[in-house]
């Protein structure tokens, strides 16, 4: 397996945020971490991203323990992670500094086209909409050919129509590149629409309540009975979580 969480625990002082997290993520999988605010899902992502060290346990990627941020595992923040002083081209090429010029040019062109920003190469982020900036950030992340992508509620700042479009875009890109993706969300529909597996987390302390496998092939029909059934299953799961 690609990513492995072993007995991960996280405490800030006496407050326990994560407890006994054990999770295996396979190569090429799209896994959603789903839970209410404060359940520690973003913390999990920060830990596996190497930005924060866990209080207990260990995360390994391809067998190697995670010790810090690494270009092989790129974080996609909400569109505010995009650098405002660089053009679209400049942003996409940001992680490619060490590569030969020819390769850099090709990769930049390819990924701008992949995320649907062709024609905007010389534009600055302030000229782009929220959805476009989000796509720019994904392109920037993909350009360095990472093994794993982490997305922390990437569509949170977008309106619901754009969100639907972005989910479709993400799936399209994922099918083209087949990266391993860890995706944090609080939106149940979102998780069932895109994930292979949904890891349902409970509120403080964050524990894995259940892992639901979404065995519907893409493209997923939102009125399909299997989709609705799985969705309701997770609703029920979360409902219990709120009561505890």
Partner 1 sequence: MTPREKGHVVALPLFAAVVMLALWQLAIVVTKATVFPSPAEVARGVVQLAGKGLLWSYIGDSLYRVTVGYVAAVLIAVPVGLALGRSRFLARALNPLIQMLRPISPLAWMPLAVIWFGVSDLAPIFLIFLAALFPVLLSTMNGVRNVPVVYIQAGRNFGLGPAALIGRVVLPAVLPGILTGLRIAFGVAWLVLVAAEMIAVDSGLGYLIIDARNAGKRYDLVVGGMLLIGVIGLLLDTLLRRAERLQFVRWAFRGGT
Site residues, partner 1 (CB under 8 A): 49, 51, 68-71, 73-75, 77, 80-81, 83-86, 94-95, 97, 124-127, 144
Could you give the CA distance from residue 125 to residue 240 in angstroms, rounded to a whole number?
Answer: 42
Q: 3-state class of 193 per DSSP?
A: helix
Beta bridge mates, 59:
5
Q: Are 166 and 199 in contact (CB under 8 A)?
A: no
130 is written with which tokens? 């929220």
Minimum distance from CB of 195 to partner 1 (Å)? 23
- Whose Cβ is closer to partner 1: residue 86's or residue 216's? 86
Minimum distance from CB of 201 to partner 1 (Å)? 22
- Whose Cβ is closer to partner 1: residue 1's or residue 144's? 144
Q: 3-state class of 8 per DSSP?
A: strand
Pairing of strands 180-185, 30-34: parallel
Minimum distance from CB of 137 to partner 1 (Å)? 9
Q: How far apart are the first and last CA of the chain?
A: 32
Minimum distance from CB of 85 to partner 1 (Å)? 4
Minimum distance from CB of 133 to partner 1 (Å)? 12
- Whose Cβ is closer to partner 1: residue 95's or residue 206's? 95
- Whose Cβ is closer to partner 1: residue 122's or residue 218's? 122
Ramachandran angles phi, psi of 42, nearest 5°: -65, -35
- Whose Cβ is closer to partner 1: residue 65's or residue 84's? 84
């Amino acid at each position: 397996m690609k990513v492995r969480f072993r007995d991960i625990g996280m405490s800030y002082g006496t407050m326990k945020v994560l407890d006994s997290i054990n999770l295996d993520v396979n190569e090429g999988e799209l896994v959603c971490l789903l839970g209410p605010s404060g359940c520690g899902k973003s913390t999990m992502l920060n830990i596996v991203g190497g930005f924060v060290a866990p209080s207990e346990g260990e995360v390994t990627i391809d067998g190697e323990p995670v010790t810090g941020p690494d270009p092989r595992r790129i974080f996609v923040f909400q569109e505010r992670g995009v650098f405002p002083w660089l053009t679209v081209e400049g942003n996409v090429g940001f992680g490619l500094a060490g590569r030969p010029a020819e390769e850099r040019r090709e990769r930049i062109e390819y990924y701008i086209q992949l995320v649907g920003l062709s024609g905007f190469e010389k534009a600055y982020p302030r000229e782009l909409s929220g959805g476009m900036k989000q796509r720019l950030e994904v392109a920037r992340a993909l350009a360095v050919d990472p093994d794993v992508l982490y997305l922390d509620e990437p569509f949170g700042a977008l309106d619901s129509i754009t969100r639907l479009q972005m989910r479709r875009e993400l799936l399209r890109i994922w099918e083209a590149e087949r990266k391993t993706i860890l995706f944090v969300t609080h939106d149940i529909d979102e998780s069932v629409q895109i994930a292979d597996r949904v890891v349902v987390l409970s509120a403080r302390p964050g524990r894995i309540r259940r892992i639901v496998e979404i065995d519907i092939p893409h493209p997923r029909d939102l009125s399909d009975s299997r989709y609705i059934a799985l969705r309701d299953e997770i609703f029920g799961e979360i409902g219990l979580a709120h009561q505890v």
